[in-house]
Amino acid sequence: MTSVVVPKDFLMAVLNEAKLHRLPSLTVRSILLDLDILTIDLVRNEIRILAGQKEFHDALAPIRSKGSSEAIDDLPSYEDLRTTAWNTIQLPDKVIQPICDEINEMAKQRMDPYRYPMPTALAIDTNIAYHRLLSRMFLRSDVLEQIGLRPRDIQIVISNLVEEEISRSIARKYSRSDIAALQRAIKDQVLVRGMTNICYKKGRKALNAQAEIDLLGRTASLWRVGGGRAPDDKEGIDNEIVRSLAEHSSAQRLNIIFLTGDDKCRAHAFSHKLPSILVEFPKEIPQVMNFDPWLLVEMLHDLSITFVGLHLKELDVKIIGDWSGKSAEDYHAERVKLIISSDSPIGLDLNRDLSIIRGLDISSTQEYSI
């Protein structure tokens, strides 16, 4: 068995090796829930959802019967699978089209600065960072190519209050009593022991949102806007976020388009005369979905964080999204841990791929023992 920490993008090598070995499909299993959640058809480029609300309920019922605790209540649900699908492979056109229209308009204005002397920027609300909307939108090959832009050409503004709100959610970690409760209920004891001192699901999602902001800072033109003090209540924070952006827009003579998934926050934007776009995702996901290969990598990455660990059954490879010892730097670098069984049909090939990557010095990869 090999345990190795790799950049998220190495998951593409795993998928490519599966195709090279002529595997028609992969079954993705939640290790914590002992539940098959989806299959990846490598021939048709389709994903089929295997676990709906009933299957999640049936998987969680025997776990909850062994004792109640906050750690048990924190286990992943169908809602987590649904949200991840919409945020990655199923990113809806009706969600991104209004944003693309604004980006297209921004491109036209850049071509004629005398006619449009005030530049335009996109500002993101906290929920947009959690959705990781912009980085996934940029990954879709047709979004920016049609306009002739690169991510670096897109000006993005973020309030320091958004980052503070995200940071507040990185708080509670699994305690010894939490781990003991999970050990009584979960079959895979190795995975549970590895969860010592990692964040609850809310904190893991917040760390992933921080990774989004960090990525936008490296790939797009990101400005951070200061000002404002974060109140304790949610509506107060929303109002302060919008107010700080509106003041920055006026002071810097900058047109700001505010992206939010909260209709109440959009009402705050309206009162501050800040243009906004409401981002709303559908409530349900189709049973069968086509996928862009790179967005599939994003989906596996996000699922591994929310579900802690995934098992690609046909490959006998586990993807661990969080573990005891994973740092904030690992989160920002979007690293995952692969556990490759000695019986894996692609084990030797993956080790060869890792050696090539190390030799080219493309990424720094560290090994950890389980």
pLDDT digits (tens, 9 = 90+) for 264-305: 999 999 999 999 999 999 888 999 999 999 999 999 999 999
- Please say whether the dihedral angle defined by the alpha carbons of residues 317, 319, 325 and 330, taken in this order, is positive or negative: positive
Q: How far apart are CA 303 and CA 261, in angstroms?
A: 21
pLDDT at 361: 59
Question: What percent of the chain has pLDDT above 70?
Answer: 96
Q: How far apart are CA 290 and CA 277, in angstroms?
A: 27
Confidence of residue 116 (pLDDT cuts 50, 70, 90): confident
- Number of other CB atoms surrounding residue 225 within 10 Å: 23
- Kindly list the structural domains of the chain, giving each domain's residue range(s) and its CATH number in brackets, ordered by start: 2-89+284-360 (no CATH), 93-169+203-278 (3.40.50.1010)
For 201-210, the pLDDT digits (tens) are 999 999 999 9
Q: How far apart are CA 144 and CA 150, in angstroms?
A: 6
The mean pLDDT value of the chain amounts to 91
pLDDT at 147: 74
Q: Which amino acid is at 233?
A: D
Which pTM value belongs to this model? 0.92
Q: Using CB atoms within 10 Å of the CB of residue 52, give its burial: 0 to 12 exposed, 13 to 18 middle, 19+ buried.
A: middle
The arithmetic mean of pLDDT across residues 169-192, rounded, is 95
